Amino acid sequence: MIDTIKRRFALSTKGAKDFCKGVFFTTLLDIALMLPAVFTFIFLEDYLRPVLNSGNIIYGVAHYIVLALIFMLIMYVISLWQYQSTFTSVYEESASRRISLAEKLRKLPLAFFGEKNLSDLTSTIMDDCTDLEHTFSHAVPQLFASLISIVLIAVGMFFYNWQLALALFWVVPLALAIVLISKKKIREDFGGNYQDKRDVSEHIQEGLEAVQEIKSYNKEEDYLKILNKKINKYEKSQTTGELMTGILVNGAQSLLKLGLASVIIVGAKMLATGDIDLFTYLIFMVIGSRVYAPVSEVFNNLAALFFLDIRINRMNEMEALPIQQGKTDFSPSGYNIEFNNVNFSYESGKQVLKNVSFTAKQGEVTALVGPSGSGKSTAVKLAARFWDIQSGKILLGEQDISLIEPETLLKNYAVVFQDVVLFNASIMENIRIGKRNASDEEVIHAARLAQCEEFVSKMSQGYQTVIGENGETLSGGERQRVSIARALLKDAPIVLLDEATASLDVENETKIQAGISALVKDKTVLIIAHRMRTVANANKIVVLDKGGIAEIGTPEELKKRNGIFAKMVNRQTLTTP
């Protein structure tokens, strides 16, 4: 049963067990909340029957005060257990779910993030988890507990007097039938509403990321017009969904109230004919005022229940995604990187690399050059297993990297890409990402090699200066130098440089070459550059064109062939002032 609950509600094993406890204690609480009616029953039994039968009253006021206190204590204890087994446990499960999703995302190939919108992932981790947390703390255990408690109470009442019990409970299956009949339609409406909400979020996210382009081309009005259209669509679907749910909830709750009216009518008739006494009639009246409370509470959370499957399906989709796995014991025989007939595509029908084969040797600089879109950056990222290839092999130290756990593999890589990612922290902490236990002296030494000292010395707090989200207070060249300092600090045996000096002017590029020379010494280096002078001293040039290898050789050899590389060098020589 635990496995079934886990699959149905996207819960962990502990979460499924806690869910069962929550249902059990919520059922106990629903029954315990009938204790005031039981108290009334006992009181009437002791006082009303003797009065009606001209007998003596047995107990005094103190007896009922003690009994009331005992009932209150029982309800308090059960309420405490119920709170711990639902609310507290659900919040713990929600925390575990978020951590599990984060771990899942950490192990997914980067291809997944290229296909998914950032706002969509944020919605899954934050909104979906929050909604599931609310639903499982306020509605789902209560739904099961309400059904169980209603059945138990109904069975007891049918044994007591089946005619009045039938008058009291005939509305419950009818109200549930209305809910079930309407469920499919309302779920479809909520599904559309959910998609409309995501469209609004994605459009806002897109606007924030492209705000410079929107302003530069005077597209604010067009952007806002599309945003207003999406918001209006979302509001309309939201209103429709809320209206239908409101009609359903109020209709079902109104129907439940007919049960009490039925008890009044049927009970009055039976009392007039002498089939029941006044005591029995009053007992059913009291119970009828409380028995529907658990079901009404479920109806109040009906919208969350209808949304439940949408959220759960998204969680299950995330959990079902294939992750990158491999062995954590990795002892390569050297650090040569070999591409053997590698084929790769980001999506079906669009081949990016075709039968690519070359070797980047340890202690040498291997440069990848070629026209834009030729597959240079893709090849470098595949070398670090940021994606998994479709066919062929990539070997590191004669071991297939597809068999190595990505985090274990990446301990051997220092990476500097053109698109630098910095955090809203100090320069010191941004560089220390390369080596978490590095001392301040080690960080400063790496920063000096990367020519960071020049701009850091001008800042009010030096290396402790917080640089804003993604280093917004730094220039492009300064951000790039921080990234290079990171790689210098890590001191990994393999270095990947993708347009590492693209954001630097000629003067700064010259300065930083000394730092890069220290970074790549005696290491396996894969470098991408459009500036041919950047790769002039490379040991090997691999020229890519249309996803395949066009030329391989030293810079001198390729210049003599008068092929793609030679033409690129000549073109840049002619255009350089």
What whole-number distance in Å separates Cα of residue 239 and Cα of residue 242? Answer: 5
Rounded Cα distance, 300 and 257, in Å = 15
> Would you say residue 298 lies in a domain?
yes
- Domain assignment present for residue 272? The answer is yes
- Domain extent, residue 463, equals 421-491
Backbone φ and ψ of 452, nearest 5°: -85, -20
Q: What is the mean pLDDT of residues 348-373?
A: 87
Q: What is the pLDDT of residues 98-136, one digit of tens each?
A: 888 888 888 877 767 766 666 667 777 777 777 777 777
Last residue of a domain, one of 447, 470, 491: 491
Same-domain check for residues 302 and 438: no
- CATH number for position 364: 3.40.50.300
| Distance of alpha carbon 383 from alpha carbon 389, whole angstroms | 10
CATH number at residue 214: 1.20.1560.10
Domain annotation covers residue 513: no
What does the alpha-carbon distance between residue 336 and residue 401 come to, in Å, rounded to a whole number?
12
- Residue 528: both structure tokens together: 């991408």
pLDDT at 18 over 50: yes
Indicate whether 441 and 401 sit together in one domain.
no
91 backbone dihedrals φ, ψ, rounded to 5°:
-65, -40
Q: Assess whether pLDDT exceeds 60 at residue 507.
A: yes
Boundary-marking domain end, from 268, 295, 320? 320
Comparison of pLDDT for 397 and 37, the residue scoring more: 397
Give pTM, 2 decimals. Answer: 0.66
Residue 514 lies in a domain: no
User: Does 229 lie in the same domain as 375?
Assistant: no
Q: How far apart are CA 147 and CA 2, in angstroms?
A: 20
Q: Is residue 512 part of a domain?
A: no
Could you tell me if residue 179 is inside a domain? yes
* Residues 301, 359 within the same domain: no
- Residues 282 and 213 grouped into a single domain: yes
Residues 483, 575, single domain; the answer is no
The total domain count for the chain is 3
Look at residues 290, 320, 350 and tell me which one is the last residue of a structural domain.
320
Residues 389 and 425 in one domain: no
Task: Tell whether 487 and 500 lie within a shared domain.
Answer: no
Question: Which of 145, 33, 136, 40 minimizes the C-alpha distance to 79?
Answer: 33
Q: Is the pLDDT of residue 190 over 80?
A: no
Whether 382 and 477 share a structural domain: no
In a domain, 509, yes or no: no
Q: What's the token pair of residue 211?
A: 């705000």
Query: What pLDDT digit, counting tens, does each position of 138-162 carry?
Result: 778 877 888 888 888 888 888 888 8
Residues 375 and 313 in one domain: no
Instruction: Look at residue 395 and tell me whether its pLDDT is greater than 90.
Output: yes
Task: Say if residue 487 is in the same domain as residue 499.
Answer: no
Mean pLDDT of 322-338: 86
pLDDT band at 49, cuts 50/70/90? low
**CA–CA separation, 383 and 216 (whole Å):** 38
| pLDDT greater at residue 513 or residue 399 | 399
For β-strands 540-545 and 548-553, DSSP reports them as: antiparallel
Does 50 map to a domain? yes
CA distance 534 to 501: 8
Better-scored residue on pLDDT, 31 or 575: 31
Give residue-wise pLDDT tens across range 421-435.
888 899 999 999 988
Residues 210 and 342 in one domain: no
Tokens at residue 282, please?
């009053």
- pLDDT of residue 46 exceeding 80, the answer is no
136-172 per-residue burial string, b: 16 or more CB within 10 A, e: under 16:
bbbbbbbbbbbbbbbeebbeebeeebebbbebbbebb
Position 440: which residue type? D
505 exposed, middle or buried (CB, 10 Å; 0-12, 13-18, 19+)? exposed
